[in-house]
Structure 1
Amino acid sequence: MSRLNLSFACWGYDRTEALQTGQVRPDGIDLNFQVLDVEETFFRMIRNREFDVAEMSMSSYCVTLGREDPGFIAIPVFPSRFFRHAGIFVSAKSGIEKPSDLVGKRIGVPEYQLTAPVWIRGILQDEYGVDPSSVTYFFGGEEEPGREEKLKINLPEKFKVIPIGPEQTISRMIADGELDAVYAPRAPSTFYSEPEKVRRLFPDFVSVEKAYFAKTGIFPIMHVVAIRRDVYEKNRWVAQALYKAFVEAQKLVYEQLMVSASLKTMLPWQIAAVEDTIATMGKEWWPYGIDRNRHVIETFTRYHHEQGLSPRQLTVEDMFAPETFSEFRI
């Protein structure tokens, strides 16, 4: 039986490296693995459906599910996860000292529908009482002007979302005090180049994020792996085959990170970091699959709906290929 050739676009993560090198091969599939920056992958997949399979923003994916002809179906593989307290930056001119000070302020976001700002707004609401509709959002390029929303969104009137000027950037605006704060997946460059003007809302973000995890059990999911729906409908077995391969590739990384004879990464205290992570989050701290992530996914879909991005709260069953709901261990 011939193998199915599928194109796959994703960033070069350690957890997908074995798929890139061919050390792990999905059953019945030859992957044409293309390593691309996440922004390029998202844009090309969402706008043009250029790949058979691709890493995709979880928020953008959820937006597509609300359309008449949803073009993708996801598998419960999460190549990117990130605690997001570290992604809230404030201007020294804003007078913001604590989360409640954000109410009524001018907030910059690269795009309103990005996954990171969805998580940040939801966390600020649940943990600190900051209503997502209590601020004004300004969206546009963080470092280069002219960025637009990848997907057209129609928000309830209570959410105030305004484009920045065609020559403006969010990074410059927060440093100059034209924005009071920024919610973003990347630190604005002025946070590093002008630290006297831009700082984090939570300077000790690691301790804050560990406390958040201890309280909620949530390690925020940023990205899913999405299959183009026409590819999936022709060969529905690919969902399970891909899922199994991603799990196997990730298992290799868990093992490699514990090897102390020669460090896998350039982090000098890699072993200490891994041991601390295990003590805080458990041996499988980056779980794939439905069962171990249901609460995280349902929290995100609630935020997505409450923030006007989904007409209803999506269910886990709405989001993932049914072939991947049977849990197994490699």
Structure 2
Amino acid sequence: MTDTNTDVLTLRANVQDYPQTKALKDGRVSSEIVKLDFCGPEKAHNGFKPMLRENAFDCGELAIVTYLQAKAYGKPWVILPAPVSGRFQHHCAGYNRELGHVAPKDIEGKKVGVRTYAQTTGLWVRGVLQHEYGVDLNKVTWMTGGDGHLLEYTDPDNCVRLPKGSDIGQMMLDGELTATLQGVDLPKDPRVERLIPDPFNAAKEWFAREGVVPINHMFVVHEDLSKNRPDVVRELYRMIGETRDLTEGGLPDPFPPMGLEANRKGLQLAIDWAYEQKIIPARMSVDSLFDETTGALG
């Protein structure tokens, strides 16, 4: 955090290039009291460890699961009720159809790959598999490519770390893994079949019933900023909202909304599923994710 002059505060920000952040990053949305130095890596998730372990940034996007862990382990960050990204995740698990049909329940007793166990995509897909398709997640061996973002966190006992450099997509195609949870990283290969049947319609039906778009990344600030400069935090919230409104072609429909109450159900679901999946050590309340400043936004 640096004051470039007496009026404007410059903050180091970790924000990726998306249609819904473009107006913020190209300067169309700006402020007279705060300036953002977009010094994060090209892929925001590569900045999560430096953010939490080294205080490399003052603000930016953070995966909801990573934030829940940060809160659980007492890290000095606070969330704004401002989702930066979110989407349905039903389509994010795949298997090789040429090796035989795999139904969701068939992954019990098998090896399933995921980049990291605490990855947000993994949380949402596993939650859907458990609650919609009756999968016992404890009976699956989760083969992981890396560790979580928090030093204090350890994967559950039914996780196995793969050798560094392992390609879980290729391992799934080769039959070494029964399925993978990979999102956009699923291999672009005609043999890949989605694990959840008719996933896009399944997601629509789920949304009609639950009214939740799974949150991926939320905007966070260091707690010192929220305590000492609530005016700047309110300004950041305004800027994010305006930037979302300027998304070319509009935000995907549906998309996680702005505001605490509008996101309460989605945040509660993330908390419940993270606890069930042993990603956080205890349940927490939605309100505890916010402080006096950020809880009053929107």
1-structure distance, mates of 2:16, 2:267: 22
1:32 is aligned, of 37, 43, 46, to 37
- 2:188 is aligned to 192
Give the C-alpha shift of residue 243 in structure 1.
0.8
2:136 is aligned, of 131, 136, 141, to 131
Native 8 Å contact 1:75 1:226 kept in 2: yes
Give the C-alpha shift of residue 77 in structure 1.
1.2
- 1:161 is aligned to 159
Q: CA RMSD in A?
A: 2.3
Native 8 Å contact 1:73 1:227 kept in 2: yes
- 1:251 is aligned to 245
Distance 1:248 1:65, change over 3 A: same
- 2:201 is aligned to 207
Give 3-state SS (helix, strand or coil) of 1:79's partner.
strand
Give the C-alpha shift of residue 93 in structure 1.
6.2
- 1:323 is aligned to 293
- 1:314 is aligned to 284
The answer to which of 39-48 and 217-226 deviates more is 39-48
1-structure distance, mates of 2:185, 2:35: 37
2-structure distance, mates of 1:66, 1:150: 13
Letter in 2 for 1:85: H
Distance 1:96 1:71, change over 3 A: farther
Native 8 Å contact 1:291 1:327 kept in 2: no
Query: Do residues 223 (structure 1) and 212 (structure 2) align?
Result: no
Distance 1:63 1:93, change over 3 A: farther
The answer to which of 49-58 and 147-156 deviates more is 147-156
Letter in 2 for 1:50: A
- 2:3 is aligned to none
2-structure distance, mates of 1:166, 1:12: 28
Letter in 2 for 1:233: K
Task: For residues 185-221 of structure 1, give each alpha carbon's deviation from its aligned partner in whole angstroms, at most 9, with x where no partner exists.
Answer: 3333xx324x23x322246322121111112111000
Give 3-state SS (helix, strand or coil) of 2:205's partner.
helix
The answer to which of 239-248 and 109-118 deviates more is 239-248
Query: Do residues 304 (structure 1) and 274 (structure 2) align?
Result: yes
Native 8 Å contact 1:59 1:114 kept in 2: yes
- 1:289 is aligned to 259
- 1:176 is aligned to 174
Letter in 2 for 1:41: G
1-structure distance, mates of 2:296, 2:125: 31
2-structure distance, mates of 1:99, 1:171: 18
2-structure distance, mates of 1:286, 1:300: 13
Structure 1 segments, 4+ long, off by >6 Å, are none
Give the C-alpha shift of residue 155 in structure 1.
4.8
Query: Do residues 71 (structure 1) and 76 (structure 2) align?
Result: yes
- 1:91 is aligned to 96
Letter in 2 for 1:154: T
Q: What is the number of residues matched between the two proteins?
A: 291
Give the C-alpha shift of residue 178 in structure 1.
0.7
Given the two structures, how large is their TM-score scaled by the length of structure 1? Answer: 0.81
Native 8 Å contact 1:89 1:183 kept in 2: yes
Give the C-alpha shift of residue 16 in structure 1.
1.7
After TM superposition, list the pairs within 5 Å mapping 1:8-47 onto structure 2.
8-26=13-31, 28-34=33-39, 36-47=42-53
- 1:151 is aligned to 150
Identity %: 28
Give 3-state SS (helix, strand or coil) of 1:310's partner.
coil
Native 8 Å contact 1:289 1:324 kept in 2: no
The answer to which of 308-317 and 297-306 deviates more is 308-317
Task: For residues 264-304 of structure 1, give each alpha carbon's deviation from its aligned partner in whole angstroms, at most 9, with x where no partner exists.
Answer: xxxxxxxxx97xx4xxx4xxx44111111111110110001
Native 8 Å contact 2:80 2:295 kept in 1: no
- 2:55 is aligned to 49
Task: For residues 44-87 of structure 1, give each alpha carbon's deviation from its aligned partner in whole angstroms, at most 9, with x where no partner exists.
Answer: 313322111121111111111111x4131111111110111111
2-structure distance, mates of 1:108, 1:39: 19
Native 8 Å contact 1:56 1:223 kept in 2: yes
Distance 1:167 1:310, change over 3 A: closer
Give the C-alpha shift of residue 25 in structure 1.
1.9
Native 8 Å contact 1:57 1:115 kept in 2: yes
Give 3-state SS (helix, strand or coil) of 1:226's partner.
strand
Native 8 Å contact 1:96 1:102 kept in 2: no
Give 3-state SS (helix, strand or coil) of 2:266's partner.
helix
Native 8 Å contact 2:13 2:59 kept in 1: yes
Native 8 Å contact 1:59 1:113 kept in 2: yes
Given the two structures, how large is their TM-score scaled by the length of structure 2? Answer: 0.89
